[in-house]
Structure 1
Amino acid sequence: MVTEVTSPADDPTFRTAVARQLDSFVADQRGLLTEVDPAVGDLVQAAVDFTVGGKLFRPTFCHAGWLLAGGSPAEPRIAAAGAAFEWLQGSALVHDDLMDGSDTRRGRPSVHRDFEARHVAAGAVGDPEQYGARVAILLGDLMLSWADEHFRRAEPDARTARLWDACKSEVVSGQFLDVLAQTRETVDVASAMHVIRFKSAKYTIERPLHVGAALAGGDDTLLSRLTDVALPLGEAFQLRDDVLGVFGDPADTGKPAGDDLREGKRTVLVARTADVAGDAHVLSLLGRPEGVDELRDLIEASGALTEVERDIDRLVAQAERAIAVLGDEAAEVLDPLVDAATRRVR
């Protein structure tokens, strides 16, 4: 029998502490916001529902940085920082689903589709689609506000707060670059990788590691070495996400197979396919429901899928070399997280 190796950063006690932080925070917010109007309780509950079932990658990497800088595992401050990353992730995903026109998230209707359906069911006046979009924007904004408020419970110093602020600005910049890329007549690997770095790699792994380490008093040398791990690992994480977005099992991913192609995402998979099949042909299929099957077949036939799997292996090897520089303690904490980030099915 093979025993799965887990990281001290992914300890169930920490996950429970983050969940309790979220529950306690929501209880406070529910009391405050339902005093504004009981109807606002629907918005609070939607935020709660949206965070259920998350993978907790960002809190876990934040915890990893904390441990590597010598922080105590049982300290409530790191659980508060981890919970703040969950609100930040929720905010980003609600807005991302709206921008992409996604129908589902984690096997449930996306927020804008959920509230669109509520509008129809209630026989309300006005445009259901517009109502759903408006609510999604407001909910994403609310969770971003909650992220900042919850992060203050971690009692960050000025340096740690600057890293937190950088994380928020970088992910918005990455999202903008992603939107901008969709206005161009060509798609290329370098541009797609640039988007990945700021939309995903820094936000998912580098800044959570930095924030956790800085919160525990880690110095700039440690943060620099964590960057050497985080950027290739974060890029590999997103490439795996791209593969799952096309070839993943909906029972695992919570989204229909090929959803990324249907939504028109210009991923590295798509860029590598265009290198072989041509920009015009690939872009003529991308973003069209009727083009999904042909484009999926083309991704395999062109060798793009194989190339992206090689990209993932190369980036993982780079991250593992950087972990080795950090030493045995870092390997114990980070090695299992490398597998969790890049060998996953959801």
Structure 2
Amino acid sequence: MGLLIDGKWQDRWYDTKSTGGHFKRTEAQFRNWITPDGTEFPAESDRYHLYVSYACPWAHRTLIFRALKGLTNHIDVSVVHPDMLDKGWELNPDYPGATGDRLYKKPLLSDIYVKAQHDVTTRVTVPVLWDKARKTIVSNESSEIIRMFNSAFDGLTGNTLDFWPEILRDEIEEVNARIYDTFNNGVYKSGFATSQSAYDEAVTALFDTMDWLEDRLSHRRYLMGDRLTEADWRLFPTLVRFDPVYHLHFKCNRNRLVDFPNLWAYTRELYQMPGIAQTVNFDHIVRHYHYSHESINPHRIVPINPEINWAEPHGRERMMAA
């Protein structure tokens, strides 16, 4: 993954030498907000466009909320090619499921960043929420995009499902913080570590959190009890990628997801909810990680992977809230 410096592309990976082998993620650069009555970014149908990768768990969050909140007919999508090589994410339609750039026919996602700001210095990441009216990026921070989707368009869609209820926000934030640091980002800190100590630290924290989640879900149907929240949908993209990718490719191999009875059943329940399976593309997921990360897999061999039955009954209906 490269970056733009003053609007010019640089094929440059994260510098782990300066961090003792630790992978340090950079923060998103574009942090604007859509609001129901916004003067700059109002909630309007067919005004906004998502650039996503099916492989990326952060982009996956936005596709999930787009489906859950009835926004599929209001916010259209361009899907990048699963291979991320020396030019970064490519808007190349020559792969099943990739669409190319449906707005401007640009070849690279970096072109979209430069279109928003010609001299931008930033990592070129997905998701990107684009404003077609102002021809600029609203946000490339997934955690904030899903909160916009959660409520900003309710007056337009009539969909009032609330995955960030005020009464649970403090607990959601606490759970999100641990899951993000040690699990969502923990798989990357394990896989991209370039020292044994950095890997040991990250992978130990990761499986401590999986053990904690397994216990929490032994007496709760969802992370907050009997109510689905943002916390569940932020966790799900990492869980659904765990056995196909992170267990092998990122050396997160103390256990598989299927070895955790509660976590595995919980993940299947979320996967089987209406509209969610359509946001998951295992071909893009497996192809992207193994083909794009030359430092981990220099020969770019894509494994066959075990067969996983995502349609297996989950049985979580019996679970009572704590």
Specify the TM-score bucket, using the shorter chain as the normaliser.
0.3 to 0.5
TM-score of the pair, normalised by structure 2: 0.37
Higher strand content, 1 or 2: 2
TM-score of the pair, normalised by structure 1: 0.35
